[in-house]
Structure 1
Amino acid sequence: MANTPTAQDEHRVVEAAPTGLFIGGEWRSATGDRTLVVEDPSTGEPLTEVADATPADGAAALDAAVAAQDSFARMAPRDRGEILRRTYEIMTARADDLALLMTLEMGKPLAEAKGEIAYAAEFFRWFSEEAVRIDGGYAIAPNGASRFLIHKQPVGVCLFITPWNFPAAMGARKIAPAVAAGCTMVIKPSELTPLSMHMIADILTEAGLPPGVLNVVTTSEAGPVMEPLIRDGRARKLSFTGSTPVGRILLAQSAEKVLRTSMELGGNAPFLVFDDADLDKAVEGAMLAKMRNMGEACTAANRFLVHRSVAEPFAEKLAERMGTLTVGRGTEEGVQVGPLVDGKSRAKVDGLVRDAVEKGADVVVGAEPVDGPGYFYRPTVLRDVPIQARMVREEIFGPVAPITVFDDDDQALAAANDSEFGLVSYVFTENLDRALRVSERLESGMVGLNTGLVSNPAAPFGGVKQSGLGREGGRIGIEEFLETKYVAIGFSG
């Protein structure tokens, strides 16, 4: 494919994506032939239509996962690992087409989409290696009268609900450890960006995943389709990535049957710049932490807390970088900022900016939608954002950097921790003692120290407080899909 995809390239990758429901190893229509439209957010025009699952389709998907669970749990770990390894290889070989499809349905620039495909594929490679490292133990009882045998077993059928902003990576982060552990699953991708997940399901099948292990139900009615599966009792785990309000509802539903849960929820990431920070490094980190995915990320820097002595030069440097970014359709060469995912998202971002300005924030750059088709918003830097502004408490999920000043370390930490969320924090300082002290006192599951990027398949991803439960990725990631069984062995020797 050329650097700039042609209209023929776009048509080809959209046509190649399955549009049905994937149940029991087969693509099929929804009950009643229901469909929903997938839109290109850079134009507002339809890309294609996909099957729109009903509760009956969800039930069929759960039936298929249940039927496949016992045999898949008995598959040799090496064989499960080889399926994941082949999936990694196929995704890597087809990265250009997968990235273009993602750009068309989600909007992010092609370079970012390629980065996400590489990131998503890496989960399959990482967990292909973890599949053969599931271990247990053998021990002598303290009184010597018996022996302990401890081993790990798959938790069972899993339910996954993934968001629209990272349509390949969020699915891969759940599917890969589940396959490695020997769990079957039903996944509901976002109706806004289902095509990337559909392609991954196709690739997993090509890589040898048995029928019924992965079932995909895209639907415009998440509650009516997924709640009965959660309350059914045959599924044993729910993993959700999305907003905290929805997470609370799902936790309540899961309580009835005591499902294991993993929740990766909202964020309100503070980005702390201390007076001894390397400002060029801090601005570079800010661009990564704020502008990845147009700011539509739970890990996005949401509150820039900058020491008063460096606030002015930091704001000027950041505004200079933000103001020169090229906004446009993600398939076009040189574009650095794509559209927000839909009109509702853009209206929310604009509303938060207007609220902050009305309450006293100064606009350094941006602060307005882009005219024309699509859902574009100009990269924005606001200065002196008051604590009364809504964006101090709410996830912005857009290309807006609000700056507030602080005068000492305690004030910075108090402001950073003054949130119900605790997913990730960013810290920029050249002082080792301060770096360790602040990192330990920040109330978040992850800290980016002098870096604006924390996500890595080999590291545990997750938050504290109302940002979630559990961890995805790293060595701990597979434990979320395993149960520990203890066997007491009578011993007369």
Structure 2
Amino acid sequence: MPHSVTDTTTPASHPTASDTSGRTDALHSVPTGLYIDGVWRESSDASTIAVENPATGRTLLDIASATPTDGAAALDAAVAAADDWARTSPRHRGEILRRAFDLLTERAEHFATLITLEMGKPLAQARGEVAYGAEFFRWYSEESVRIDGRWSTSPDGKSRLMTMRQPVGPTLMITPWNFPLAMGTRKIGPAIAAGCTMVIKPASQTPLTMLALADLMTEVGVPAGVLNVIPTRTSGAVMTPLITDPRLRKLTFTGSTPVGKDLIRQSAEQVLRVSMELGGNAPFLVFEDADIEAAVDGAMLAKMRNMGEACTAANRFLVHQSVADDFAALLAQKMTAERLGAGIDDGVTVGPLIDDKQRRKVAELVTDAVDRGADLTVGGERIDGPGYFYTPTVLTNVQPGSAVLREEIFGPVAPIATFTDDDDAIARANDTEYGLAAYAFTASTARTIKVAESLDFGMIGINQGIISNAAAPFGGMKHSGFGREGGPEGIAEYVETKYIGINPLDATVRNSHTDAR
């Protein structure tokens, strides 16, 4: 495991090809302005955001930073385009999404490179994100023509009941830094399919991928004003006026629970439709009958995808005491074999964390656990040099009360604690305010059913370490939020249901018991 990282970029506004990969030329085609009403423009006060490569700490590009004036212009554009866009045919909207899927797939390497450069994940994982993110466009291209209503006769036979589903209207989308493409496409896809216009604020750490995606969406035929992108380094000042504007009809946010709670409070003023995908504290249960090798393989997927910087990442490993030593030993072996380095370099499996603040948090959680009696089996090392690297870490004998069992780690740290029986495992798993994802490995069908029914989480993976799928509803319970993204459920977040009662006037209702002969 290397203790230094090769610098793969040159400073700042004039990036050149990497000496080791030749991939930084992808930056040359990225727009650096705000995308409002179909036009790329500078910030109204010429302010910028320096987008950093977390593998080197150096600036990749300087891009425009939106002001409140720019935010208002973006919402103006979304409102102006809303009625015409809502009236477009479902087939037309679906064909736009299908073209977007095809073009995004064709340019997968370009987008994967951007993701890796600005976010840090290994290139192989970035390619996986592009494939996953593109799938939301394909799924919702097919769902756009399936937004239906119903027609029925009222129980008393005197009227007809009709329901229809129509676009919610202008939507504000706030996306996180850890999946800069997929967290956008799983909001954009259903919004376009439903006929909604949108204002998107990508995370200031990783806006380049979304800017490139906006360019692609224009290319495939999204009309001016339907999609607007406004990165900003003053999020509160720009977002608050939009959230409290009566013309906005929906807010969707993916990010931390504390920020989500603030946004929910702000949204109450206009009684907005709100969907929130917030923090997680995913338990990973390994029962005594589990295939340990399969469980460790699943653990590596659930923990190390994105360096652990995922809301669905396994956060607590709860292992039956009879197999805990075997599981920990094999997991430590797998973690030690990971190759740490700049994600853009071939063969790297673990990239940097997003910034030094996140790395400090991870280090503090590990220190707290060790101070409380946990054993540091492997890792626990902050790497000096350029970038924000932390070694893959396994903690065993983690004690109750340790912060690493309560807080979302968002890093490559696997804390292992033990349980004695099924009820103990379920109680420990549910002992959290969060309820996003959970994992369990067992050979028992009966236990599978019991665990699935008993765990208070919105998504549960049984004998698998990755559960995200465009065809399935993604979302959580409790402090992990509400609403769903993906699957047939995802499009329901972007439509309102309208009921129409119709009196046929000339209808004659026969009463079966009085008219019977």
The TM-score normalised by the length of structure 1 is 0.98
How far residue 370 of structure 1 moved from its aligned partner, in angstroms, is 1.4
Which residue number corresponds to residue 465 of structure 1? 478
SS in 2 for 1:238: strand
Which residue number corresponds to residue 330 of structure 1? 343
How far residue 128 of structure 1 moved from its aligned partner, in angstroms, is 0.3
SS in 1 for 2:500: strand
Which residue number corresponds to residue 453 of structure 1? 466
Residues 196-254 of structure 1: per-residue CA shift (max 9 Å, x gap): 00111111100000000000010011111001100011111000000000010000000
Query: Which of 158, 169, 173 matches 2:171?
Result: 158
Which residue number corresponds to residue 379 of structure 1? 392
- Say if 2:39 is the partner of 1:26: yes
* Stretch deviating more after TM superposition (318-327 or 11-20): 11-20
How far residue 488 of structure 1 moved from its aligned partner, in angstroms, is 1.0
- 5 Å-filtered alignment, 1:75-94, equals 75-94=88-107
Query: Which of 156, 159, 181 matches 1:168?
Result: 181
Q: Matched residues, percent identical?
A: 61
- 5 Å-filtered alignment, 1:244-259, equals 244-259=257-272
Which residue number corresponds to residue 395 of structure 1? 408
- Say if 2:324 is the partner of 1:311: yes
Which residue number corresponds to residue 53 of structure 2? 40
- 5 Å-filtered alignment, 1:394-433, equals 394-433=407-446
Unaligned ranges ≥5, structure 2 = 1-7, 9-16, 508-517
How far residue 141 of structure 1 moved from its aligned partner, in angstroms, is 1.1
CA distance in 2, matches of 1:400, 1:11: 30
Which residue number corresponds to residue 487 of structure 2? 474
> Contact 1:10 / 1:101 at 8 angstroms: preserved in 2?
no
CA distance in 1, matches of 2:296, 2:285: 11
Which residue number corresponds to residue 484 of structure 1? 497
- Say if 2:282 is the partner of 1:266: no
How far residue 439 of structure 1 moved from its aligned partner, in angstroms, is 1.1
Residues 283-321 of structure 1: per-residue CA shift (max 9 Å, x gap): 000000000000000000000000000000000000000
Larger Rg: 2
CA distance in 1, matches of 2:239, 2:138: 29
Which residue number corresponds to residue 320 of structure 1? 333
- 5 Å-filtered alignment, 1:13-412, equals 13-412=26-425
Large movers: runs of 4+ above 3 Å? 4-11
CA distance in 2, matches of 1:251, 1:108: 30
What letter matches 1:460 in structure 2?
P
How far residue 186 of structure 1 moved from its aligned partner, in angstroms, is 0.3
What letter matches 1:317 in structure 2?
L
RMSD: 1.0
How far residue 351 of structure 1 moved from its aligned partner, in angstroms, is 0.7
Which residue number corresponds to residue 510 of structure 2? none
CA distance in 2, matches of 1:101, 1:390: 34
CA distance in 1, matches of 2:154, 2:456: 39
How far residue 420 of structure 1 moved from its aligned partner, in angstroms, is 0.2
SS in 2 for 1:256: helix
Q: How many residues align?
A: 490
How far residue 371 of structure 1 moved from its aligned partner, in angstroms, is 2.1
What letter matches 2:85 in structure 1?
F
Residues 364-388 of structure 1: per-residue CA shift (max 9 Å, x gap): 1001111221000000000011112
Query: Which of 457, 462, 483 matches 1:444?
Result: 457
CA distance in 1, matches of 2:312, 2:114: 23
* Stretch deviating more after TM superposition (10-19 or 104-113): 10-19
Residues 158-185 of structure 1: per-residue CA shift (max 9 Å, x gap): 0000000000000001000000000000
What letter matches 1:359 in structure 2?
R
Residues 396-441 of structure 1: per-residue CA shift (max 9 Å, x gap): 0000000001111111111000000000110000011011101110
How far residue 11 of structure 1 moved from its aligned partner, in angstroms, is 3.6
Residues 237-279 of structure 1: per-residue CA shift (max 9 Å, x gap): 0000000000100000001110000000000000000000000
Unaligned ranges ≥5, structure 1 = none
CA distance in 1, matches of 2:81, 2:23: 36
How far residue 335 of structure 1 moved from its aligned partner, in angstroms, is 0.3
The TM-score normalised by the length of structure 2 is 0.94
CA distance in 2, matches of 1:312, 1:31: 59
SS in 2 for 1:381: strand
> Contact 1:319 / 1:365 at 8 angstroms: preserved in 2?
yes
CA distance in 1, matches of 2:80, 2:187: 20
CA distance in 1, matches of 2:117, 2:376: 31
How far residue 474 of structure 1 moved from its aligned partner, in angstroms, is 0.3
CA distance in 1, matches of 2:203, 2:355: 13
CA distance in 2, matches of 1:422, 1:193: 26
CA distance in 2, matches of 1:130, 1:258: 27
What letter matches 1:162 in structure 2?
T
Which residue number corresponds to residue 512 of structure 2? none
How far residue 331 of structure 1 moved from its aligned partner, in angstroms, is 1.0
CA distance in 2, matches of 1:141, 1:318: 61
Residues 58-99 of structure 1: per-residue CA shift (max 9 Å, x gap): 000000000000000000100000000000000000001110
How far residue 6 of structure 1 moved from its aligned partner, in angstroms, is 4.4
SS in 1 for 2:212: helix
SS in 1 for 2:283: strand
CA distance in 2, matches of 1:432, 1:10: 47
What letter matches 2:66 in structure 1?
A
SS in 2 for 1:116: helix
